[in-house]
Structure 1
């Protein structure tokens, strides 16, 4: 099985699906991460594009990610929403065409961060069912510091799919630590403490020690009831 994790920024892929990526890779599945906007200079003046990409590679290696792609949106001080959404759609569509994933993870459309919402909408458009195509399931992930910050008026995050990642939460924390400029001490939501706490809470919802939770956006099943080869 081939899985594609689509993220707006470096560290979103780890926060949203890091432990699941590690679990899938360990089981022999091909995992690819697409980071659309690598630029981080809006908040971190001392982090250039080269460092951001190298940090992504370090995190990906910790999780066993087989393929790491960059969308090329450096965004030196800008937002994905500042430009035409068509360019983001084209980047996502191109990655899907080349990677041929059956399983796609992406942002939740109700996130407080506008870039996350742009990526969620672009992925929805790129994975629309128009006859054919490899994608069988699309899942929205939650990103600490963004998804839980939404207001009651936003699209609620209602996870329905849970991955048992009991043995992979610490790998997620190690991968996140590569992004030293994005990680903070507790009680900040982007902290190892918060990552462990969320995994324990999501696990408690389904009776396991640790879980990552996803909202099902779309799923295509065959006549035998199977979603795909995984």
Structure 2
């Protein structure tokens, strides 16, 4: 199985689906992480694009990702949300075509961060007709300090699919630690304590020790198959 995580910035991939990526990779899935914009020039003085990519590579290694790629959109310091939507859609469509995933993980369209919303919309457009390509499932993740900060009057994150990641939270925390300039002390939502707390809370919703939660954006199933992977029941 091929899984693709499309994220706006380095660390979003880890916060959103890091433990799930680790679990899938351990099971033999090919996990591809794609970061559209490094974003460091807008938020962190003294952090170069090269350093951001190196730290992202270290995080991806912790998660067991088979491939990591970059869109390079932040090289000129602009926000993704400031770009023409067509440009972001074309970039997302290109990586979807090149990676050929069955499952896509990406941002929630109701995030408070405009870049996250831009990516979610572009993925929605690029996967709007599932029957024309290999993608069978699109899942939207939550990013601490972004998703939960949006008012519920806009577009609440109400998960309906959970991955048991009890054995992979440590890997997620190690990967997140690769971004020291993105990790804060508790009670900040972007802290290792908060990551573990959220995983425990999501776990209580489905009766496991720790879970990552997602909202199903789209899913195409064929009768007689086990699920989005398309493998036939035996």
TM-score of Structure 1 vs Structure 2, range by shorter chain: over 0.9
Runs of at least 5 residues in structure 1 that lack an aligned partner in the other structure: none
Task: Output the TM-score relative to the length of structure 1.
Answer: 0.97
Root-mean-square deviation (Å)? 1.1
Match of 2:63 in 1: 63
Question: What is the deviation of 1:75?
Answer: 5.0
CA contact (8 A) 1:202 1:211 kept: yes
Counterpart secondary structure, 1:41: helix
CA contact (8 A) 1:145 1:190 kept: yes
Match of 1:134 in 2: 134
Match of 2:102 in 1: 102
Misfit runs of 4+, over 2 Å: 75-78
CA contact (8 A) 2:49 2:75 kept: no
Match of 2:226 in 1: 226
Question: What is the deviation of 1:221?
Answer: 0.5
Question: What is the deviation of 1:178?
Answer: 0.3
Structure 1 distance, partners of 2:196, 2:24, is 19
Structure 2 distance, partners of 1:191, 1:107, is 19
Match of 1:79 in 2: 79
**Aligned ranges for residues 1-230 of structure 1 at < 5 Å?**
1-129=1-129, 131-227=131-227, 228-229=229-230
Structure 2 distance, partners of 1:76, 1:181, is 21
After superposition, the C-alpha distances for 1:175-218 in whole angstroms (9 at most, x for unaligned) are 00000010001001110000000000000100000000000011
Structure 2 distance, partners of 1:189, 1:225, is 39
Structure 2 distance, partners of 1:143, 1:124, is 18
After superposition, the C-alpha distances for 1:20-66 in whole angstroms (9 at most, x for unaligned) are 00000000000000000013111111101000000100000000000
Runs of at least 5 residues in structure 2 that lack an aligned partner in the other structure: none
Structure 2 distance, partners of 1:78, 1:71, is 13
Counterpart secondary structure, 1:198: helix
Task: Output the TM-score relative to the length of structure 2.
Answer: 0.96
